[in-house]
Amino acid sequence: MNIVILDAYTINPGDLSWNELEKVGNCTIYEHTPQEKVVERTKNADIALINKTGLYKEEIDQLPDLKYIGVLATGYNVVDVDAAKARKIPITNVPAYSTMSVVQMVFAHLLNYTQRVAHHDQTVKEGRWTQSRDFCYWDFTLIELADKTLGIVGFGRIGRAVARVARALGMHVLAVNDSPIDPLPEGVKQVDFERVFKASDFITLHCPLNSETLHLINKESLSLMSPDTFLINTGRGALIDEHALADALNQGLIAGAGLDVLEEEPASADSPLLYAKNCTLTPHIAWATREARARLINIATDNVKSFLEGNIKNRVG
């Protein structure tokens, strides 16, 4: 059984192992694959594993030996599902491997804003504390989270985990979801979009990206927020109209934003959020703790083994 991984580097830049997968079959691993080389590198493969490299109709139609596509991620928009279905090629993904890692990043951005850790570290190392008349100083109003309100847009697995941490910190939680939340966790209120935008001190996005949520954060929704509201996005970049958010930040209409995802990735050099006021950006790494990446490899390997045993797990197409 010939297995090819077309873009292994982001999942395993060298600190993990593909050994268990390599025991399953003849495994060829490429760190990166340009789109124009997908067919060449996959032409003899029975099994193709991909992360962000695309397998679309043009490629699938040229791969007569291909029997299985495994996406090394949760989202699978990099595969033409209809083209694979026409060839009876199953597609699997890797769900729920990074939940707590994403939760950590939500609170990393939130706490960086409330305590300004990076800023004060920099000023201390520049000599400011050494020269200070007082034993302490701060350049921003420091914020206690207890009794503040966190609005969670999308109350799936990650949204629920975020709520648990928020409640442990003494926060009130408002949740927006496309269906009734049942059971509703203690301390969580389900509300509509308008209420969550108006009433939250912090808003974090965990909803799927679809036609209804594309640019959910836009000029209109931003206008509902308080100048003290801080926005966090570790979900999908296109949930946010980036020009509208940059304008709101630069005009002081909201307090700030912590973003791990952008609509275009890697970030475009002319992205307005690179230069917006009070905007902290991380390069799509909420999922990427070593532990989460190890789980991803283990689940993906188990998916392949299950396929070979005739019992497909985590099938999405």
Strand segments (E) across the chain: 2-5, 26-29, 47-50, 68-71, 91-92, 149-153, 172-176, 188-190, 202-205, 230-233, 256-259, 279-281
Rounded to an integer, what distance in angstroms lies between the CA atom of residue 267 and that of residue 269?
Answer: 6
Half-sphere exposure of 291 (CA within 13 A, CB side): 8
Cβ burial of 113 (10 Å; 0-12, 13-18, 19+) is: buried
Rounded to an integer, what distance in angstroms lies between the CA atom of residue 102 and that of residue 287?
Answer: 6
Active site residue 284: yes
- Of 215, 236, 242, 263, the catalytic one is 236
Rounded to an integer, what distance in angstroms lies between the CA atom of residue 59 and that of residue 51?
Answer: 15
Rounded to an integer, what distance in angstroms lies between the CA atom of residue 187 and that of residue 143?
Answer: 21
Q: Would you tell me the crossing angle of helices 290-308 and 99-115 to the nearest 10 degrees?
A: 160
| Kind plus residue range of the DSSP H or E element containing 81 | helix 81-86
Cβ contact 63:86 at 8 Å: no
- Of 119, 265, 290, 315, the catalytic one is 265
Rounded to an integer, what distance in angstroms lies between the CA atom of residue 66 and that of residue 47?
Answer: 6
Rounded to an integer, what distance in angstroms lies between the CA atom of residue 154 and that of residue 175?
Answer: 7
Residues marked as catalytic: 236, 265, 284
